[in-house]
Structure 1
Amino acid sequence: MTKINDLLKGTLVLDGAMGTELEKQGVKTNDELWSANALIDNPAAIYQVHADYFKAGADIAITDTYQANVAAFAKNGITKEQAIKIIKSGVEIAKKARDQYKPTGLVAGCIGPYGAYLADGSEYTGDYQLTEQEYREFHAEKIKWVIEAGADLLSVDTIPNFSEVQALVKIINEQPQAIPYWISLSVKDPETLSDGTRLAEVVEWLSEQPQVGGIGVNCTKMENITPIIHLIRSISSLPVIVYPNPGDIYNPKTKTWTTVPHAESFQEEVPNWLAAGANVIGGCCRTTPADIEQISKIVTKSW
């Protein structure tokens, strides 16, 4: 655990989008299971995506388990026992690709927000309120299974709700097997969590919690990244993880993306993120292996 936390304090390259790369291989992603459909019927496609990112220079792969949870699978006639195997397979596929293409790489087990299960865009609003026990019932078993499957660390992604952040940290810290992890936030703007909480308040709270290995932001516009890094760095000494979208617009009703002209690019922005103090840099929705290769080249030059 200490070794991985030390690595996160350096400079590492994270992978990019899973869903849109799976779409290119014919995987259906425009329903409530999104990229988790491939865990059921096309694991080879997942393996290929991981392989492509490792070959592009990624040091860390995030598993295809963001949308994978028992409740969503149950809606599709999948038993709990089957769901456990499916979720664990997401870690196993990433490990297999890592061992083949980047033996020194890391596999981050992905834990998505409750809002992703709702499949209505709530991961971008945080517009839901659960009790701590309800969050525990939703998240705890999946976290346990991802750890059991052999993830090196946890990537807790796109969390839009402060009460969910707090519940997740407590659940992970209570696991019998300690594991490094970062919490990556979904933001409304560079100063505000998606649910309206001041981002500074969230960062301050996370910085005070034992075992948290990093604070990040993902699935937001590139233009938000530099000011968010500065905000985190002004409060916390924890590693900073950033993996934005290239700027396209998501429609949660149709579950489709609209391409828009991009004012920023990784080529232009990654040097700014490194200068501001980012430690782990990758991409989220709609990014590609070519983007990760570009990031890798810039990071390598910075060493």
Structure 2
Amino acid sequence: MGSSARLRLYMDGEGPLVLDGGLATELEARGAKLQGDPLWSSRLLHSDPDAVREAHYSDACDRFLLAGADVVTTATYQASIAGFIRHLELSSEGSRELLMSGVQLAKDSVDRFVCDARPSGRRRPLVAASIGPYGAFLLDGSEYTGAYAEEMSVEDLKVWHRPQIEVLAASGADLVAFETIPSIKEATALLELLREFPDSKAWLSFSCKDGRRVSDGSPFTDAVRLANRCTQLLAVGVNCCSPALVEPLLDSAGSLLSPDLSWVVYPNSGEDWVSEQGWLTSEKTAASILELSPTWMKQGAGLIGGCCRIAPAHIAELRGRLETSCTSSVSAV
């Protein structure tokens, strides 16, 4: 069975797919120094690939696959051909090979997990090839504003993203994850590029500024209308926002979502990132993924997980909560 057919079958099954959490969070917990690095987690593809592989899976229980993730996301969010050439002094071909290795590490981890753990009743985990926004390359926080898109055309953004999509579409990943996209213009560029690779499937998730708007100020309803027009998309949604924003965002566009699409949601912990201070708790933090995820499932979310500051232990708890909610729903019927 092809990966796209298998993914559709998975999404038509009982209960949502559980995504992994913050890969960088797990890598930092294991001692990696990532803050301020222009390549972020993707530097480890070059300097310490074993750390990336083990964050996906090792024989320790506190890894994402053993915690219950149905989908693992590659360490390629902040990776780019231009970035590897600039910061690692690699050739263009070497940069492409390094980008491809991010998918291979995740695939190897899934193979080892299936062989070692032989999880009873579990779906074989999928690999999502992560593609972040142009703002991630800029390293100025603009993936949460989309300000750069004002000075760029759709064609400019396509030129930037094409090398990465070209490599990852050929990597053997089950799907592509367009993540933390802050603007409708950049999303338009990505979906136009996706059509150049007709065998590829994807999800599209936005960074959002409040319960109704994506980060560039556009209504979330516009994002969903755009997604509805792409036959290669399997899901549209949000990531790396406060959990408290997810329900109102989905509510704002729930009547517009195509029957062929699902919601994908994977917010962060709800903490605020403040430069030179790190992650700080706030009143928003009380709205947790664990507490709110059953509501997202009722709203139609087919893929649920976490982003920054969400560790394997949180994913294990999330899986348990969703399985309980699914069982309760069946019993009620």
The bucket for the TM-score relative to the shorter chain is over 0.9
Cα distance in 1 between the residues matched to 2:230 and 2:256: 14
| Aligned counterparts, 1:118-129, within 5 A | 118-129=138-149
Query: Which residue is equivalent to 1:145?
Result: 167
Q: TM-score, normalised by structure 1?
A: 0.94
Which of 186, 190, 193 is the aligned partner of 2:214?
A: 193
Query: Which residue is equivalent to 2:7?
Result: 4
Deviation sequence 1:35-92 (CA, Å, 0-9, x none) = 1121111111111111110100000001010001012222212322221111111000
Cα distance in 1 between the residues matched to 2:294 and 2:136: 31
Cα distance in 2 between the residues matched to 1:40 and 1:79: 13
Greater Rg, structure 1 or structure 2? 2
1:24 aligns with 2:36: no
- Structure 1 stretches lacking a partner, 5+ long: none
Cα distance in 1 between the residues matched to 2:220 and 2:184: 9
Number of corresponding residues:
301
Which of 185, 188, 192 is the aligned partner of 1:166?
A: 188
Query: Which residue is equivalent to 1:97?
Result: 109
C-alpha change, 1:282 and 1:186, in structure 2 (3 Å) is same
1:79 aligns with 2:96: no
Q: TM-score, normalised by structure 2?
A: 0.86
Cα distance in 2 between the residues matched to 1:153 and 1:278: 17
C-alpha change, 1:190 and 1:300, in structure 2 (3 Å) is same
Query: Which residue is equivalent to 1:43?
Result: 49
Secondary structure of the residue aligned to 2:31 is coil
The Cα shift of 1:147 comes to: 2.0
1:66 aligns with 2:77: yes
Query: Which residue is equivalent to 1:222?
Result: 243
Cα distance in 2 between the residues matched to 1:132 and 1:267: 37
The Cα shift of 1:3 comes to: 3.4
Cα distance in 2 between the residues matched to 1:138 and 1:66: 14
- Structure 2 stretches lacking a partner, 5+ long: 58-62, 116-123, 328-333
Secondary structure of the residue aligned to 2:25 is helix
